[in-house]
């Protein structure tokens, strides 16, 4: 585990400071994540981020990968085309499995695309109606769409990374560890190059929150809902990011999963950021709130290393 100091501001010109001033309308809300989502602060952050990132990338219109309204994805890629067969990142948003839209988290895909990747922001069926295992079935369906279509956008379908925040980190890491879901969609296991979890719940029994009870309370086998129970030596490498100020999804989830993976001979790296809370770690994937860039740097380092293995 590496502990990393968080959040020193980087030097910015007047455009950057204007973006920060606009985004400040939402910052207080972000420190209470549920309030932020309900007040559409995520949408505001995405729009502010787009002012500084949109020119560097091309972003598709929303694309349906299934019949449900939430089964939407959008693709971001570096502007100007050029290099083909770029590594691909599928990002899955958080929101207690009951809130959020792929479109509002386009800022994550844009910032990844600005670094040379093809990135997809995907939604999934939400509670009520999206109880376990719907979120995993949808994640597998989105991955299948990527495998079938991402070459049209310059992406390499044999190098797909799964990434998510909070509830979305659960989805991404579970897809990487539990073979059932991708196998059901005939996605080759070798196509998954790695998984990145930002502040994810991976070991959360007994169900002790409204969000987990609503999403998993009707599961016939609760042990089968837990990522930590699917660690294996041959799993894709994991990068687990968390903030030491996170009181929503405690860092112990990431600590426990890293230890369990290493115990069975798997590959996992934990990076814990000082002074960052549950919302701050996903905000750090935007341009206005990147701070000293430590969160983005950890993601890009992992992607660069794993994409060439």
Handedness of CA 132, 284, 88, 178 (dihedral sign): negative
**What is the DSSP pairing of strand 192-198 with strand 155-165?**
parallel
Helix (H, G, I), strand (E, B) or coil at 259: helix
Q: Which of 10-14, 90-94, 225-229 has the lowest mean pLDDT?
A: 10-14
User: How does residue 37 score in pLDDT terms, banded at 50, 70 and 90?
Assistant: very low
81 Rama sector, left if φ>0, alpha if ψ -120 to 50, beta otherwise: left
How far is Cα 86 from Cα 80, in angstroms, rounded to an integer?
14
pLDDT (0 to 100) of residue 26: 46
pLDDT (0 to 100) of residue 285: 97
pLDDT (0 to 100) of residue 31: 43
pLDDT (0 to 100) of residue 16: 54
pLDDT (0 to 100) of residue 64: 98
How far is Cα 262 from Cα 265, in angstroms, rounded to an integer?
5
φ, ψ for residue 251 (rounded to 5)? -55, -20
H helix count then E strand count, the chain: 11, 10
Under 8 Å between Cβ of 36 and 25: no
Q: What is the 3-state secondary structure (H, E, C) of 134-192?
A: HHHHHHHHHHHHHHHHHHHHCEEEEEEEEEEECHHHHHHHHHHHCCHHHHHCCCCHHHE
Q: Which of 25-29, 47-51, 291-295 has the lowest mean pLDDT?
A: 25-29
pLDDT (0 to 100) of residue 307: 75
pLDDT (mean) for 49-73: 95
Q: Which of 14-23, 88-97, 248-257, 285-294 has the lowest mean pLDDT?
A: 14-23
Instruction: Please check the confidence at residue 36 and state whether its pLDDT lies above 70.
Output: no
Under 8 Å between Cβ of 33 and 302: no
Under 8 Å between Cβ of 74 and 63: yes
pLDDT digits 0-9 by tens, 63-118 = 999 999 999 999 999 998 667 899 999 999 999 999 999 999 999 999 999 999 99
User: How does residue 1 score in pLDDT terms, banded at 50, 70 and 90?
Assistant: low
Instruction: Please check the confidence at residue 24 and state whether its pLDDT lies above 80.
Output: no
Instruction: Please check the confidence at residue 21 and state whether its pLDDT lies above 50.
Output: no
Instruction: Please check the confidence at residue 3 and state whether its pLDDT lies above 80.
Output: no
> Is domain 2-307 in CATH 3.40.50.1820, yes or no?
yes
User: How does residue 208 score in pLDDT terms, banded at 50, 70 and 90?
Assistant: confident
Q: Give 237's DSSP letter.
A: P
Instruction: Please check the confidence at residue 230 and state whether its pLDDT lies above 90.
Output: yes
pLDDT (0 to 100) of residue 32: 46
- What percent of the chain clears pLDDT 70, i.e. is strictly above it? 86
Mean residue pLDDT of the chain comes to: 89
pLDDT digits 0-9 by tens, 180-192 = 999 999 999 999 9
User: How does residue 15 score in pLDDT terms, banded at 50, 70 and 90?
Assistant: low
Instruction: Please check the confidence at residue 287 and state whether its pLDDT lies above 70.
Output: yes
Other CB atoms within 10 A of residue 115 CB: 16
């Amino acid at each position: 585990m590496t502990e990393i100091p968080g959040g020193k501001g980087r030097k910015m010109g007047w455009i950057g400071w204007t973006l920060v001033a606009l985004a400040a309308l939402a910052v207080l809300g972000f420190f209470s994540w549920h309030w932020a989502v309900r007040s559409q602060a995520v949408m505001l952050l995405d729009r502010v981020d787009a002012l500084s990132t949109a020119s560097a990338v091309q972003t598709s219109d929303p694309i349906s990968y299934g019949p449900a309204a939430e089964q939407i994805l959008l693709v971001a890629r570096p502007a100007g085309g050029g290099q083909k067969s770029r590594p691909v990142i599928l990002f899955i948003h958080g929101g207690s499995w009951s809130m959020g839209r792929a479109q509002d988290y386009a800022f994550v895909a844009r910032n990844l695309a600005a670094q040379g990747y093809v990135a997809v922001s995907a939604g999934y069926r939400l509670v009520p109606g999206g109880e376990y295992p719907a979120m995993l079935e949808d994640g597998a369906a989105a991955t299948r769409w990527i495998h079938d279509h991402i070459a049209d956008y310059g992406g390499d379908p044999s190098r797909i990374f799964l990434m998510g925040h909070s509830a979305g980190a659960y989805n991404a890491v579970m897809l990487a560890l539990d073979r059932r879901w991708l196998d059901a969609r005939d996605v080759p296991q070798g196509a998954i190059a790695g998984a990145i979890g930002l502040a994810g719940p991976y070991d959360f029994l007994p169900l002790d929150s409204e969000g987990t009870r609503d999403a998993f309370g009707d599961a016939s086998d609760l042990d089968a809902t837990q990522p930590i129970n699917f660690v294996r030596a041959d799993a894709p490498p994991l990068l687990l990011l968390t903030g030491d100020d996170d009181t929503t999804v405690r860092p112990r989830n990431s600590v426990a999963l890293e230890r369990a993976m290493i115990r069975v001979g798997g590959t996992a790296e934990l990076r814990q950021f000082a002074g960052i809370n549950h919302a701050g770690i996903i905000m750090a994937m935007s341009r206005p709130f990147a701070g000293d860039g430590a969160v983005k740097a950890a993601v890009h380092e992992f992607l660069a290393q794993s994409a060439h293995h």
